[in-house]
Amino acid sequence: MARSKRKQLISCLLALCAAFIPTSSLADDAGLVVSAEASHKFTKQLSAGFEVEFRSRNDFRTADRVSLGPSVTYKLLPWLKASADYNLLIDNNREDISYHEDESYNNWRPSYWGVRHRFNVSLTASHKIGRVEVSLRERWQYTYRPSRVIDNFDFDESMWEDHEVRGKGKNVLRSRLQLDWDIPKCKFDPFASVEFHTTRELEKTRFIVGVEHTIKKTHAFKAYYRYQLTGSSSDEPNIHLLGLGYTYKF
Partner 1 sequence: MMRKISYGLLAVAMAVTMVSCVNDDTDMDDIIAQYMVEPASIDLDYSDLAEVADVPVTDENDSAYNDYVENTTWNKVININYAGDAVTVTGSVPGVTLQADGAHVTVLNMSGPVKFVVSGATTDGSLKFYGDKRFQILLNGAEITNPHGAAINNQGSKSLYVVLADGTVNRLQDGETYAMVEDEDQKAAFFSEGQIIFSGRGELDVIAVGRGGIRSDDYIRVRPGARISVNSSALDGLRANDGIILDGGVVNIQTTGTGAKGVRSGGPMTVNGGRLVAISTGDTRLGVTDEGDADTTACAALYCDTLLTVHAGVLKLKATGDGGKGLNGKGNMDMRGGSMTVVATGTREIKKSKGVKLDGNLGITGGSFYTYSRLSDPLEVAGTMSVAPGYVTYDHEVRVITISYPGF
Judged by the rule CB under 8 A, the positions of this chain that interact with partner 1 are 32, 34, 54, 56-58, 60-64, 94-95, 97, 105, 108, 110-111, 153, 155-159, 187, 213, 215, 219, 221, 223, 244, 246
Residue 54 or 74: the one with the smaller Cβ distance to partner 1 is 54
Q: What is the dihedral of CA 192, 36, 42, 127, to 10 degrees?
A: 0
Smallest gap, in angstroms, from Cβ of residue 31 to partner 1? Answer: 8
Pairing between β-strand 148-154 and β-strand 188-198 as defined by DSSP bridges: unpaired
Q: Which is nearer to partner 1, 119 or 155 (CB)?
A: 155
Residues with Cβ within 8 Å of 235's Cβ and at least 6 positions away in sequence, in order, are: 94, 96
Shortest Å, Cβ 17 to partner 1: 18
Contacts of 236 (CB under 8 A, 6+ apart): 94, 230
Find the shortest distance in angstroms from Cβ 33 to partner 1: 9
Do residues 119 and 142 touch, judged by C-beta distance below 8 A?
Answer: yes
Q: Which lies closer to partner 1 via its Cβ, residue 108 or residue 119?
A: 108
5 versus 117: smaller Cβ distance to partner 1: 5
CB-count exposure of residue 18 (10 Å: 0-12, 13-18, 19+): exposed
Residues for the chain: how many in total?
Answer: 250
Least distance (Å) between residue 68 CB and partner 1: 14
Minimum separation from the CB atom of position 36 to partner 1 (A): 9
- Contact residues for 216 (Cβ-Cβ < 8 A; gap 6+): none
